[in-house]
Copies of this chain bind each other. A is one copy, B any other.
Amino acid sequence: MNPGVGRLIRKLETFATLAETDKRALAETVTTVRRFSAHEDLLREGEPFDELKLILEGLACRYKLLPDGRRQIVAYLVPGDLCDIRTFILKRMDHSICSLAPVEAALLSAEGVLGLMGRSPALTRALWWSTLVEEANAREWLVNVGHRTAFERLAHLLCEIFIRLRAVGLTQDNRCDLPLTQNELADTLALSLVHVNRMLMEMRRAGLVTFQNKQLTIHDLQALQSASGFNASYLHLDGDKH
């Protein structure tokens, strides 16, 4: 079985202990692994589905387009995240998903996962949990965009990204790969590209953060957190375990 599924299972197990049989069965729903290049849509608004995508490697985002062509990125997807579990329930996506860097995704049989959910309430609840964590994330972003200054907003986002990547083992010390452009940060934070750039420079000058060549280095996480009012609890990385 593909080892990438392990990240998903590990994530779900921060919430609930799953039976060995469930874990094995989940891993067996993987049909193929597919690669996407950067800036390719993994899933488009309103599209049908017969498979679920699980991010194994790379970085992707959920986004919404406005009539005038501007884009709001509403979430990031890191390895271990499921793209479209909500299509089981909602029938149509109200947003699209796009790779930011090359992505490797496992395709899970929708039928298989549905069947599994029918047999395992524990798994169902674990998947429900994962969507609630995303909801909490969206709410925090709303606060971020609504009530924080540009500097705080950016600092908050960088804290979040770093800590999420650290949780899945994708950081080294105080650094991580972050295949984003300043433009994409702007689309996330609802700021202009120019202003994002200025805030990044300010952070660099202040010795807080360096973001260059797709590498993010956080020189003082503590300071960055308090500068942005960051509190990781909304990420639910520790225990919601019952």
**Per-position binary interface string of chain A over residues 149-175, scored 1 when its CB falls under 8 Å from any chain B CB and 0 otherwise:** 000000000000000000000000000
Stretch binding the partner chain, chosen from A18-26, A102-110, A120-128, A198-206: A120-128
Q: Give Cα distance in the complex from A229 to B68, angstroms.
A: 10
Q: How many copies does the complex hold?
A: 2
- Interface residue from B125, B132, B138 paired with A139 (Cβ < 8 Å): B138
Chain B residues with Cβ below 8 Å from A90 are: 129, 132-133, 136, 236, 240
Q: How far is the CB of A242 from chain B (nearest CB, A)?
A: 7
Q: Give Cα distance in the complex from A94 to B136, angstroms.
A: 7
**Chain A contact residue count (CB 8 A cutoff):** 48
Chain B residues with Cβ below 8 Å from A131 are: 128, 131-132, 135
Q: Which residues of A contact B (CB under 8 A)?
A: 15, 62, 64, 66-67, 70, 72, 74-75, 86, 89-92, 94-95, 117-118, 121, 124-125, 128-129, 131-136, 138-143, 145-148, 189-190, 229, 233-234, 236, 239-240, 242
Give 9 closest A-B pairs by Cβ, nearest first.
A146-B190, A135-B135, A138-B138, A72-B143, A91-B240, A74-B139, A145-B146, A89-B129, A128-B128
